Amino acid sequence: MQNKYKGIIASNGIAMGPIFMYTKQKIEVSNEKISENDVIKEQEKVKDAINSYSNEIENRVKTTPEEEAIANAHTELLSDPYFEETILNKIESELKNSQLALDETVKEMVMTMEALDDEYLKERAADYKDIGEQVMYKLMGVKANNLSRLTKEVIIISKELTPSDTSTMDKKNVLGFATDLGGKTSHTSIIAQTLDIPAVVGMNDITKHAKDGDFAIIDGDQGEIILNPDDELKKEYINKIDKINAEKQRLLEMKDKKAITKDGKHCEVAANIGNLNDLDIAIEAGCDGVGLFRTEFLYMENSHFPTEDEQYEVYKKACEKLEGKPIIIRTLDIGGDKGLDYYEFPKEENPFLGYRAIRLCLDKIEVFKTQLRAILRASAYGKIRIMLPMVISVDELKRSRDLLEELKSELNEKNIDYDKDIELGIMVETPASVMMSDKLIKYADFFSIGTNDLTQYMLAVDRGNENIAHLYSNYNPAVLRAIKKVIDTSHKAGKWTGMCGQFASDTNATKLLLGLGLDEFSGSASKLSKVKDTILNSSFKQAQEYASELLDLDTANEVEQKVLGDN
């Protein structure tokens, strides 16, 4: 009987075929305590298991940037001293067996990541789960099931797919997948997007309804799974698939084109990245540069504040990979929901409005100077721009600029090369920076709008609160008017404005943002071609008229309905 089930869209597209139910081996962790005599033996087991998985990753054949990215991410996490030291300490000080010590450590790390408000960071919890699972298999001597040797084309249905599952699966035979768990910004979803595999996640209980051999349609555009569709519906979807394939082929031709409207307005279409692996994927997708390099990962995936040289090497490699294309490096945006294992933040009633981002940097001047010096030195190798997060006042911007000038003088004295004209801009993500934009632009070379936080703060809506989640909308007229004000202010001063929030990746909103005058769109690598295509096929003058109409509407719902109706 035909049945339809809804979930979260992880990757667009449509696929049809038989179902393969994928299950993992059950792991039952022993709670048995060990004696002091067994401590060293249990610790050695853990070290051997970590080394075994590290060697497996190193020897694994990586055929795509995504597989390389997952392998590198896992290698980084495995080499984090905190991970191994915490496990070994639980064995020694609490006399926990190796399995229990590993299990507890991974669960603690996962809880820390899942508590974060930033969706990009929150989804890293899946990486910790994945690593814990793989190391546990090694520890228990269990051979893990995998999807690398499928004998026919199938749709995968599973409770959860880890990054390891998706990066090693047989791409030729996986038509699509659906899972009970997972979010749209997880590594698993990102891999599906990049590999162009339709996927629906967060379905809660699809594994209870599907069976091996059932025929299914995955509609990644609607976030639906249809089990055992009738012949009429199959024909309808075959026609849809033919149209989608033709559209994909057309979008491929957009990848390396410049985003210029029919009447000559030029926009940069850049990518947001968190590390060099993300950059590889963005370059492959045809990015015009990087609109946001989240440098907090250099700090969060370390056992200490990264040194100047450690940061310099990363920024330099990014410049070299981009071959002259611009990269905006956001200075340390830590605090709020993003902590560090090696630094204790003060206890705060509301950390999101507390000691974080530029506030922390201007307080911990040496940490800030270290990062700025590394960025300046790396600017000799490419087009780097510096961006300050969470700015609310001219004073913060002026102090940062003075500090930058001080460091430039030091480098001049030592004859160290750097870009003398390096640009310094701010991330506009607070109502204060919107209201003070006319003053801030005197001291900033550019603005970049962070819509995730700006929307939250403009509307006084906690986007993580399910009870009021319906109130959080980038299409709210208050948010759109704030965006328009910021863009107009920068243009009046002869400067430019970009956007690095998730709204920049919403391809339904591209024409609206173009009409508001946005100069740079920076978002998910998987959306770049579609954003470019919309710009290339638009008239800037008509987009301005369209945006003006939308700005005159009264509610977020009216705006959204109009936008969706026009796409």
Name the residues annotated as catalytic: 187, 500
Give me 134's structure tokens.
């793989």
Question: Mind spelling out the 3-state secondary structure of 261-329?
Answer: CCCCCEEEEEEEECCHHHHHHHHHCCCCCEEEEECHHHHHCCCCCCCHHHHHHHHHHHHHHHCCCCEEE
Type and span of the H or E element at 206: helix 206-209
The strand pair at 215-219 and 224-227 is best described as antiparallel
The Cα 210–Cα 226 span in angstroms is 10
CB 272 within 8 A of CB 292: yes
DSSP 70-105: HHHHHHHHHT-HHHHHHHHHHHHHH-B-HHHHHHHH
d(CA 296, CA 38): 39
Q: Given its phi and psi angles, is residue 196 left (phi above 0), alpha (psi -120 to 50 degrees) or beta? A: left
Q: In whole angstroms, how far apart are CA 475 and each of 14, 96, 303, 423, 522?
A: 28, 52, 40, 30, 18
Which DSSP symbol is given to 199?
A: E
Q: Is the Cβ–Cβ distance between 320 and 356 less than 8 Å?
A: no
Q: Are 290 and 326 in contact (CB under 8 A)?
A: yes
Q: How many CA atoms lie within 13 A of 127 on its CB side?
A: 24
What six digits make up the tokens of 62?
A: 């990586």
Specify the amino acid at residue 506. D
What is the C-alpha to C-alpha distance for residues 523 and 75, in angstroms, rounded to an integer? 26
Identify whether the C-beta of residue 27 lies closer than 8 Å to the C-beta of residue 141: no
Quote the tokens at residue 333. Answer: 């945006």
The DSSP code sequence of 378-398 is: HGGGS-EEEEESS---HHHHH
DSSP codes of every residue in 490-515:
HHHTT-EEEE-SGGGG-TTSHHHHHH
Q: Which helix (H) or strand (E) holds 8?
A: strand 8-11
